[in-house]
Structure 1
Amino acid sequence: MCGIIGCVGRGDATLDTLLGGLANLEYRGYDSAGVALANESVTVEKKAGELDALREAVAGQTLHGSVGIGHTRWSTHGPPTDANAHPHQDCTGDVAVVHNGIIENYQSLRDELAEAGHTFASDTDTEVVPHLIEDALADGADPEDAVRQALSRIEGSYAVAVVVAGVDAVFAAREDSPLVLGVSDGAYYLASDVPAFREHTDRVVYLEDGEFARIDADGFSVSSIDGTPHDVTIDTVDWDPEDTGKSGYDHFMLKEIHEQPRALRQCLQGRVDELGASVSLDLDVDIARVQFVACGTSYHAALYGAGLFRAAGIPAQAFYAHEYALDTPPIEDDLVVGVSQSGETADTLSALREARRRGARTLAVTNVVGSTMSRECDDTLYIRSGPEIGVAASKTFSAQLAALNLLALQTVGAGDEDLREVIAALRDLPGDVQAILDSTTAEEVAEEYVDSDGFFFIGRGANYPVALEGALKLKEISYEHAEGFAAGELKHGTLALVTADTPVFAVVTGNDEAARKTIGNVKEVEARDAPVVAVTDGKSDVARYADHVLEIPETHPRTAAVLANIQLQLVAYHVANALGRSIDKPRNLAKSVTVE
C-alpha cells in the first residue's frame, strides 16, 4: 500500500526527484510522507498528512545528499503522526529506513533492543530495522553487511530501502512486497512501483522475493540476502509517462473511465479472429474444473468469469482469496486462477501459493508485467489496460471481464452460445462503450439522488457481479452506504431497508427469465415507493417501471454486463464529485493492497 522511492546519481536534483516520485505514487493511498538524504550525515524530514505538508516542511531548507529515499505511509502500526511517518532512524541518526509490509516479530525484537538500551521514537514495526543495523555496525560490520544481518532477523513481509551516513549507496530488499529498480545512464532508482521513476527511465529490474540490491553511482548489484550474486534481466516498460497524467480531466478516475474503449481494444488486439471464429492466447492449459481467487473489484470479475465457465459446462467457483488461503477446498486437477489488477495483492498471492503447494496449476490474470503473481504463477494472462492511477478500479475491471471472456472462449468454448456472435460482440465492445460515454445521463441521475439515505444495486446472472461492483464503486469514492446483491435476495431481508429515500439500481439486460424475475423485484421496491433506476438495453419492459433509465447498446448477454458497469461507474463518479470527495485517493483505501 505504501510507496517507496530511492535514487542515486541525481546530484542537486535528489530532493526534487524524491518528491516527484512520491507524487507519482500518491495513488497508492497514504496518510504521511517523508524523505531522507545522505552524505556524511543523514537528514530526515517527515510529516503526517498530504505530500504538500512535506513540501512545505522542506521549503527553504538546505537538504543535501547524493543519495536519498522517500516514503508515503498507509498506517498499520500506530496512527498517522509525524513520529510514525517514515523514514525511521537509529539512536545515532546515521541510519534511515523506509519499509512497506508487516514485520511480524517486531515486538520481540523491540523488547530485546529496548532492554539493550535502544530508544524508540514511534509506534511502528519498522523502527526495529534501523536499530538492528545500528547494532551490527557497532559490532564492526560494514554498512552493506549490517543491513543484511538486520534483514536476516526479520520475519514477515517487507520492501525495505536504507541509507547510511558516509555511504553513497542505497540498500534495498524485498520479501512479499513489490520493489523494482530503474536503470538509466548515470542514475539509478528503486521504487515500490514503476510510475515513481518512469519519467526518468523505461528500463527496469523487477526484484524477486529474497533478493537484496545495492544501487550507487557506478551501477547496481542484486544478490540473495546472504550475498550470493544473482543474474537479472533488464526489462523495458512499454507505456509512456504521459499515460499517468490527467490529460485535462478533473480526476484520474474520470480519465480512466473514458480510456475504457482504448483499454478494451488493447486487451482484445491480436487475440480475436472474427473471420476464423477463434481466440488465440499465449496459453496452453487443459481445464476440467477451475477455481478463481481474488479480492474486491477483482473478486467481482472472478464471479463473472466463473459464470462463463459454468455456462460452458465446466465446474467453476470464485473464492475470496483471504478465505481460500485459510480453508482451501479440494483442488485435485483444478486450474486455480488468481485475478488481481496489480499482481501484488497479498491475500491473492497467499491463496495462489497454497494452491501451488497442493500441486495445482496456477494462472495469473493481471495488468502489471513483472508483478509477483506473473512471476510465480505457471501462466499469465495480461489484461493490457495500461497504468491505472485512480485507487478505485475502472478500466481494469472492464478489461478483466473482457480477458476472462477470452480465456473461457479459448479453453472451453462458448457452450450453447454461438461463438461468432460472442466474438462479434467483443469486437464491438470498444465502440459500444464509447457510445455510452457520449450519451450517458448518469450525471443527471447522480444529481437527483446524491442526498439519498442509501443506495441498492440488484442484478441476476452475469449482472449480479455488476451490481456488486456498482455498489462497491459508489461506497469507495462517495463514502455513502451502498449495497449490491443478487436480485432474488431482495425479499430475504434487505427489503426492510427500502424506503422512498433509497434508490434501487436494477441491472436488467435481455428479455429472458432472469430479466423477467428482476422486473418482479423492481415492482417490489416500486410498491414501497423506492425510486428505481434501470440500467438496460431496452429488450425488456423494465423502463416502464423505472423513474430513470440508463441505456446501453444492444449486444450479447456476455458483453451487456460490461456495458452496464460503465453506467454505474459514471453514477458513482458523479455522486462523489457532487459531494466533493477525494475521488482519486479515497480515505483509508490504497491501490495495491500488499498486507493481509
Structure 2
Amino acid sequence: MCGIVACSGESPVAPLLVEALERLEYRGYDSAGIAVPAVDGHVEALRSIERVDDLGRRAAGWAPAVSATTGLGHTRWATHGEVSVVNAHPHRDCSGRVAVVHNGVLEDVTELRRALTDAGHMIVSHTDSELIAHLIEEAMSEDTDLAGAVERVVGGLRGSWALVVLDARTDELVATCHGSPLVVAEGPEGVFAASDIGAIAPWVEWYHVLDDGDVVRLRAGLPWHRGGVPVAPPPAVACSVGVADLSLGLYPDFMAKEIEQQPDVAERLITTWSGSILHGLWPSFSLPVPRHVTVVGCGTSLNAGRVVADLLARLGSIPFAAVEASELTSTATVPGSLALVLSQSGETADVLTALDVLHGRGHAVVALTNNPHSALARRAEAVMMCHAGPEIGVAATKTFVAQVLGGTCVVLSLLGCSGAVEQQRAQRLVRDLDRVPDALAQAIGASRRTIPQVLEGLTKASGYVFLGRGPGRIYADEGALKLKELTYRWAESHAAGELKHGPLALVEHGTPVIVVDDGSARMHATIAEVSARGAEITSIGGHGTSVPALGSPLAVALDTTVDWLGPLASVVALQIIARELAVALGRDVDKPRNLAKSVTVE
C-alpha cells in the first residue's frame, strides 16, 4: 500500500515522478500527488483523488514543474483521514518550506497532534503524515541541516515509516525508514528514492536497500548516516526488474500475463533448486528437524503455506497448525514449533508483527518470500527464495505457485536430508518435480478450451460455493478467495464432507458449485448430492470433468501428473475462472477495488 518516489536530477522532474507513480499503481491507492520547489523557496504541490493519469495530464500544464529538477511523489492508501485532496500527499509544514511523503502508520497521533496544535501549528489534514512535516519544521528552527532535523524527528516517533523530505529552499531531499521499505539509487537521470524498485527500474542498474534508522541524502554519492554518524552505504543490489516485466506486451492485463507465466516460473524455480534439494538446502538452514510446524501468513500466502505444511504432514507425518498473521498474538503456539512464515513482498505489516511474536516465543523462522531484501528475509533464521519475478496484478497468481513449489523443495530437502524419507524415494520425488511445468502448461490449455463454455452459467449468480477434500480443500479455498477478490461477489469454500453440517442450506436451483474433483467415490457422492438440489456444477479434475486441468488422456500418456503433490494444477483453472468471470462483469482484474498489492499497514 502507498507508494513513494523522489528524484533529484538535471532535467524536469515532474514527468519522471508521474511515470514512476504509474508503475506504483499496482500497489493500490486512492489519491496521488507530486511536489517540487518553487523559485521563491516554497513547496508547490499538485494532488488528485483520481488516477495517476489525471495527475499526469494536469502536471503537463503545471507552471512550477517547468524548471524544477528536484521533487517527490506519492500514491496514498487512506488510513488516517478520508479520501480527499487535502489528505493526499505530499504534505507541507506551516512555512511551506518542507514537503513530506510517508508510508506507514504512526502510533502516537493524538498526542502529536495535540502538542503541535498547542505550539501554534496549523494542521489542515486528518492524516498522521502531515504531523511529520510540522515536526521537521520545528526541528529545523533549531538546526538548519535537513538530515539532522529528520534524524532528530524520527528518533521520537512511534510506529512505522518510509519517509522522504524535501527542503524547498535548498532543493535537498533526505530519505529514511523504519519498518517500511525504501530503496535509493543513482542513474543517468539522477538520484532516486522509491518504495519499490519497479518504480525506478528503467533508470537505474543498481540500488541500495535502507535498513531501519538509515538516513540518506539524495545527492551524488548518496551520503549515508546512521545514528548521526556517516557510514558506508550497504552493498549495491543489481536491478533485475526489466522493462518487459513492467509492460503488458500482447496481453490484455497483467493477470492474464502472469497466469501464462506460471509454467516458466515453475521451471526456473525447480531448475534453480533441484540440484541442492538432497545435497544441502535444508542443512544450509542450520535448523533441527521439526516435530511440529506453525504456518503464518495472510490471504493467498497463507493458503500456499497450508499446501506446503499439508505436504510435509502427508509425506513426513509432521503435524502443523495454520494461523492468520493478524491473529497470532492471541493464538497459542506449540513450544519449539518451527515457524514457516510466508509473504510475497516480505513487507506485509501483519506478518512482520507476527514475526516479532514468534521470535518472542522462541520459534525459529523459515521465510518463503519473493523479495530477498525484504524485512522478512533479513529477520528470518532461514530464507527460501521463490523466484517468481515481478508480479503486477494485485491478485496473486504466479507467486502462489512459486511459494508452493519453493516450500515443496524445502519439504523434500528436510525429509531427504534427515532420513525421514528413504533416499531412493526422495530422489524419485525430486525427479517428479521436473514434470510440474508441463502439468501447469497442460492445465492452462485445458482451461482456456473449456472455461468459456461454463462461464455463461456463472455470470448471473450472486454467490458461489467451492468444495474440495483432502489436499484439494486448500485449493478450493484459494479459488474462492480469487473469485471474491476479482468479482466482488460472495464465495464460500467448504470441505466436501461438511455440506450436511450447514452449508448445504445455501444450495438451491442454479447455485454455482465449483468442485476441485479428486475423482474419489466420496467426492462423486457429494457432487450427486448438490446436483440433486439443482446446483450448477463446474468440476475441475481429470478426464471427464468440466475443466480437465488435472490431466487428459494425453497428459497421462505424456506423464505430466504429479499425484503426491496434490492438485496444484487446479489453481490455474481457478485463477482463469475468476479472471474470466471478472472480465465478463466489467471489473478491473489488475486493480480490484479496496485492495492493494503490498499491505504495509495493519
TM-score by length of 2: 0.92
Structure 2 counterpart SS, 1:181: strand
Q: Counterparts in 2 of 1:249-268, with a 5 A limit?
A: 249-268=251-270
Q: Tell me if 1:484 matches 2:483.
A: no
One-letter amino acid of the counterpart of residue 314, structure 1: I
Once residues 214 and 566 of structure 2 are traced to their aligned partners in structure 1, the CA distance between those partners, rounded to angstroms, is 45
Structure 1 counterpart SS, 2:12: helix
One-letter amino acid of the counterpart of residue 490, structure 1: L
Structure 2 counterpart SS, 1:575: helix
One-letter amino acid of the counterpart of residue 20, structure 2: G
CA separation of 1:326/1:203 partners in 2, compared to 1, >3 Å: closer, same or farther?
Answer: farther
Once residues 167 and 492 of structure 1 are traced to their aligned partners in structure 2, the CA distance between those partners, rounded to angstroms, is 69
CA contact (8 A) 2:8 2:192 kept: yes
CA separation of 1:326/1:229 partners in 2, compared to 1, >3 Å: closer, same or farther?
Answer: farther
Once residues 316 and 386 of structure 1 are traced to their aligned partners in structure 2, the CA distance between those partners, rounded to angstroms, is 29
Moved more, 233-242 or 472-481: 233-242
One-letter amino acid of the counterpart of residue 564, structure 1: S
One-letter amino acid of the counterpart of residue 539, structure 2: A
The structure in which a higher percent of residues are helix is 2
Which string of whole-angstrom CA distances, capped at 9 and with x for unpartnered residues, describes residues 234-283 of structure 1?
11123422112112111000000000011111111132259x98785654
1:377 is matched with: 380
2:575 is matched with: 569
Once residues 444 and 280 of structure 1 are traced to their aligned partners in structure 2, the CA distance between those partners, rounded to angstroms, is 44
Q: Counterparts in 2 of 1:141-220, with a 5 A limit?
A: 141-185=144-188, 187-216=190-219, 218-220=220-222
Task: Tell me how far 1:202 sits from its aligned partner.
Answer: 2.5
Once residues 405 and 383 of structure 1 are traced to their aligned partners in structure 2, the CA distance between those partners, rounded to angstroms, is 11
CA contact (8 A) 1:421 1:556 kept: no
1:438 to 431, 436, 445: 445
CA contact (8 A) 1:425 1:559 kept: no
CA contact (8 A) 1:272 1:279 kept: no
Once residues 575 and 54 of structure 2 are traced to their aligned partners in structure 1, the CA distance between those partners, rounded to angstroms, is 32
Q: Counterparts in 2 of 1:7-86, with a 5 A limit?
A: 7-9=7-9, 11-38=10-37, 40-62=41-63, 63=65, 64-86=67-89
CA separation of 1:53/1:239 partners in 2, compared to 1, >3 Å: closer, same or farther?
Answer: closer
Once residues 399 and 34 of structure 1 are traced to their aligned partners in structure 2, the CA distance between those partners, rounded to angstroms, is 35
Once residues 53 and 101 of structure 2 are traced to their aligned partners in structure 1, the CA distance between those partners, rounded to angstroms, is 19
Which string of whole-angstrom CA distances, capped at 9 and with x for unpartnered residues, describes residues 112-144 of structure 1?
111221111111111101111111222344222
2:477 is matched with: 468
Task: Tell me how far 1:13 sits from its aligned partner.
Answer: 3.4
Moved more, 159-168 or 350-359: 350-359
CA separation of 1:387/1:523 partners in 2, compared to 1, >3 Å: closer, same or farther?
Answer: same
CA RMSD of aligned residues (A): 2.1
Once residues 309 and 243 of structure 1 are traced to their aligned partners in structure 2, the CA distance between those partners, rounded to angstroms, is 33
Task: Tell me how far 1:592 sits from its aligned partner.
Answer: 0.7
Once residues 323 and 338 of structure 1 are traced to their aligned partners in structure 2, the CA distance between those partners, rounded to angstroms, is 14
Once residues 99 and 525 of structure 2 are traced to their aligned partners in structure 1, the CA distance between those partners, rounded to angstroms, is 63
One-letter amino acid of the counterpart of residue 248, structure 1: L
CA separation of 1:551/1:55 partners in 2, compared to 1, >3 Å: closer, same or farther?
Answer: same
Q: Tell me if 1:595 matches 2:593.
A: no
Q: Counterparts in 2 of 1:122-133, with a 5 A limit?
A: 122-133=125-136
Once residues 22 and 489 of structure 1 are traced to their aligned partners in structure 2, the CA distance between those partners, rounded to angstroms, is 47
CA separation of 1:225/1:580 partners in 2, compared to 1, >3 Å: closer, same or farther?
Answer: farther
Task: Tell me how far 1:14 sits from its aligned partner.
Answer: 1.1
Which string of whole-angstrom CA distances, capped at 9 and with x for unpartnered residues, describes residues 193-243 of structure 1?
110000011201111122222111x22122225446354111112342211
Once residues 124 and 519 of structure 1 are traced to their aligned partners in structure 2, the CA distance between those partners, rounded to angstroms, is 55
Moved more, 11-20 or 254-263: 11-20
1:520 to 521, 525, 529: 525
Moved more, 558-567 or 412-421: 412-421
Task: Tell me how far 1:378 sits from its aligned partner.
Answer: 1.4
CA contact (8 A) 2:3 2:103 kept: yes
Once residues 552 and 316 of structure 1 are traced to their aligned partners in structure 2, the CA distance between those partners, rounded to angstroms, is 26
One-letter amino acid of the counterpart of residue 120, structure 1: I
One-letter amino acid of the counterpart of residue 590, structure 1: A
One-letter amino acid of the counterpart of residue 571, structure 2: N
Once residues 187 and 584 of structure 1 are traced to their aligned partners in structure 2, the CA distance between those partners, rounded to angstroms, is 30
Which string of whole-angstrom CA distances, capped at 9 and with x for unpartnered residues, describes residues 266-301 of structure 1?
111132259x98785654432222211101000101
Structure 2 counterpart SS, 1:178: coil
Structure 2 counterpart SS, 1:127: helix
Once residues 287 and 280 of structure 1 are traced to their aligned partners in structure 2, the CA distance between those partners, rounded to angstroms, is 13
One-letter amino acid of the counterpart of residue 531, structure 1: E
Task: Tell me how far 1:186 sits from its aligned partner.
Answer: 6.6
CA separation of 1:194/1:140 partners in 2, compared to 1, >3 Å: closer, same or farther?
Answer: closer
One-letter amino acid of the counterpart of residue 551, structure 1: A
Which string of whole-angstrom CA distances, capped at 9 and with x for unpartnered residues, describes residues 484-503 of structure 1?
12222222211111122321
Once residues 469 and 279 of structure 1 are traced to their aligned partners in structure 2, the CA distance between those partners, rounded to angstroms, is 32
Once residues 188 and 224 of structure 2 are traced to their aligned partners in structure 1, the CA distance between those partners, rounded to angstroms, is 18
Task: Tell me how far 1:56 sits from its aligned partner.
Answer: 2.6
CA contact (8 A) 2:33 2:73 kept: yes
Once residues 248 and 565 of structure 2 are traced to their aligned partners in structure 1, the CA distance between those partners, rounded to angstroms, is 28
CA contact (8 A) 1:179 1:207 kept: yes
CA contact (8 A) 1:367 1:386 kept: yes
Once residues 85 and 586 of structure 1 are traced to their aligned partners in structure 2, the CA distance between those partners, rounded to angstroms, is 21
1:498 is matched with: 507
Moved more, 150-159 or 235-244: 235-244
Once residues 241 and 320 of structure 2 are traced to their aligned partners in structure 1, the CA distance between those partners, rounded to angstroms, is 34
Structure 2 counterpart SS, 1:198: helix
One-letter amino acid of the counterpart of residue 470, structure 2: G
Structure 1 counterpart SS, 2:21: helix
Instruction: Mark the runs of 5 or more structure 2 residues left unpaired by the alignment.
Output: none
Once residues 547 and 268 of structure 2 are traced to their aligned partners in structure 1, the CA distance between those partners, rounded to angstroms, is 30
Task: Tell me how far 1:527 sits from its aligned partner.
Answer: 1.4
Q: Counterparts in 2 of 1:279-294, with a 5 A limit?
A: 280=281, 283-288=285-290, 289-294=292-297
Once residues 214 and 171 of structure 2 are traced to their aligned partners in structure 1, the CA distance between those partners, rounded to angstroms, is 20
1:581 is matched with: 587
Once residues 212 and 511 of structure 2 are traced to their aligned partners in structure 1, the CA distance between those partners, rounded to angstroms, is 48
Task: Tell me how far 1:446 sits from its aligned partner.
Answer: 2.2
One-letter amino acid of the counterpart of residue 358, structure 2: A
Once residues 225 and 449 of structure 1 are traced to their aligned partners in structure 2, the CA distance between those partners, rounded to angstroms, is 59
Task: Tell me how far 1:456 sits from its aligned partner.
Answer: 1.1
Q: Tell me if 1:99 matches 2:102.
A: yes
Structure 2 counterpart SS, 1:13: coil
2:335 to 308, 331, 335: 331
Which string of whole-angstrom CA distances, capped at 9 and with x for unpartnered residues, describes residues 508-542 of structure 1?
22x5xxx332222212211110111111123xxxx
Structure 2 counterpart SS, 1:78: coil
2:410 is matched with: 407
CA contact (8 A) 1:533 1:550 kept: no
2:432 is matched with: 425
Which string of whole-angstrom CA distances, capped at 9 and with x for unpartnered residues, describes residues 153-194 of structure 1?
211011111101122321111111111112325721111111
CA contact (8 A) 2:549 2:569 kept: no
Once residues 119 and 58 of structure 1 are traced to their aligned partners in structure 2, the CA distance between those partners, rounded to angstroms, is 27
Structure 2 counterpart SS, 1:506: strand
Once residues 332 and 188 of structure 2 are traced to their aligned partners in structure 1, the CA distance between those partners, rounded to angstroms, is 48
Instruction: Mark the runs of 5 or more structure 1 residues left unpaired by the alignment.
Output: none
Task: Tell me how far 1:399 sits from its aligned partner.
Answer: 1.1
CA contact (8 A) 2:201 2:241 kept: no
Once residues 393 and 194 of structure 1 are traced to their aligned partners in structure 2, the CA distance between those partners, rounded to angstroms, is 19
